[in-house]
Amino acid sequence: MKTLTLFEPQFVEKFACVGSACPEHCCGGWNIQLDKKSANRYLQAKRIDIRALATEHISVTKKSVANWAQIKLDASGQCGFLDEKKLCKIHAGLGASALSHTCSTYPRVSIQKRRDEFNTLTLSCPEAARLLLTHPDGMQVQEKQLLRQLFNSAPEYQDAEKLLNLMCSLLMAKCGVQVEQGLYAIALLCLKLDKVSLDNADDVAQLENTFLALSDSLEKGEVVAHMHAIEPHYLLHYALLNNMQHFIQLRPGSRGFATFSRYLQLLNLDALQDQDDASKSQLMAENSLLWQQKVLPLLQDSPWLIGNYFQYRIYHDRFPSLTSREPLSALYLLTSEWLMIKNLLVAQVKSTGELSQDDVVNIIYSFHSLTKHNKQASDNFYMHIDAFKMNDNISLLHLLK
């Protein structure tokens, strides 16, 4: 028998689907794929009502065994198998075991390495986002030992990746709600990483010393002084946000669009489309000031609202993964996404003078629903972000002011 380690945050353990009570359920606004076994089970069901529904609402595509068919959405963009209470007729008629892999697992995700497994949830689910963001211990991670006949077929989780992931998590934990300081510290860590080899013990020791120095600087508040030297580039802020807005506005029928659009309208980027660069920069500068003066004080009473989000991103993304993007590139993308979320929080406070936990949950779940629901959506979204790097990843520092 082989021993594997399972990691699971508390919010994952607590998750249970809330069914018809969900503010925006997962059976609408998305393409729902069916595996071959599930599609045939519904199309050949002994129950006439299920078979009739399947014949009407299933389109067989045969793209792969896992993607054998697709559920046709009705005129309102909802799954044809929902009843008037937005509950699944398959679940009610054939039982939970009859649900397709997609329907039975969402929003659960298992990230597998050869000897490790990381259970998580996708934040495109409102209930998953609520559990993560509103509970102080939501990202408290438990470890369990599993016995298996074989190791996973995935690659080994290298010690260097584990070390970097832990360092980034600890740096973000040190900064509290001042997340830009944590991102700045991680940027400096990544710059040091570019100059060392993780295969060399002396170089790894240098990296650890850099981490300890950065951690100490965060704890003492010294990072703020270092960040004063960064020249803000507010026109880059506007261009990046406007491009992300354009990407999202191309998805009017997608799940999360109506919720996200309510906050995006408050940001009101469209009003500046025909304005000069100085006007665009001025709005971004005002938002940056409002973040410091009004939004951060509102978050101080519940620092886990933002802290848990960044701990989730580091955990869920295995950040900074050394097998996909370069660490600085991965950090640029994360910082860019935070720029959008941050400005929407500012726009909400500017408009109403208030910021509820529901606002934070709504912004984050709808953002993830539109941009990170699946790999294709993420890749397309990142292509838009990549267009504004000013030819280098280090331009991310201009996004922290």
Residue 124, SS3 per DSSP: coil
> Domain residue spans in the chain?
27-105, 192-400
- Distance in angstroms (rounded) separating the CA atoms of residues 45 and 32: 19
pLDDT bracket for residue 313 (50, 70, 90): very high
Average pLDDT in the 257-276 region?
93
Global confidence as pTM: 0.93
pLDDT, position 395: 76
What does the angle CA 375 – CA 144 – CA 26 come to, to the nearest 5 degrees? 35
Burial class of residue 238 (count of CB atoms within 10 Å of its CB; 0-12, 13-18, 19+): buried
Would the pLDDT of 183 be above 80?
Answer: yes
Would the pLDDT of 31 be above 80?
Answer: no
CA distances from 379 to 243, 337, 371 (A): 15, 13, 9
32-34, strands of its sheet edge to edge: 32-34, 69-71, 58-60
Highest mean pLDDT among 146-150, 235-239, 273-277, 358-362: 358-362
Would the pLDDT of 302 be above 60?
Answer: yes
Highest mean pLDDT among 145-159, 315-329, 371-385: 145-159
pLDDT, position 388: 63
Query: What are the DSSP calls for 26-37, one per residue?
Result: TTBSS-EEE-HH
Q: What is the pLDDT of residues 337-362, one digit of tens each?
A: 999 999 999 999 999 999 999 999 99
At 206, phi and psi to the nearest 5? -60, -40
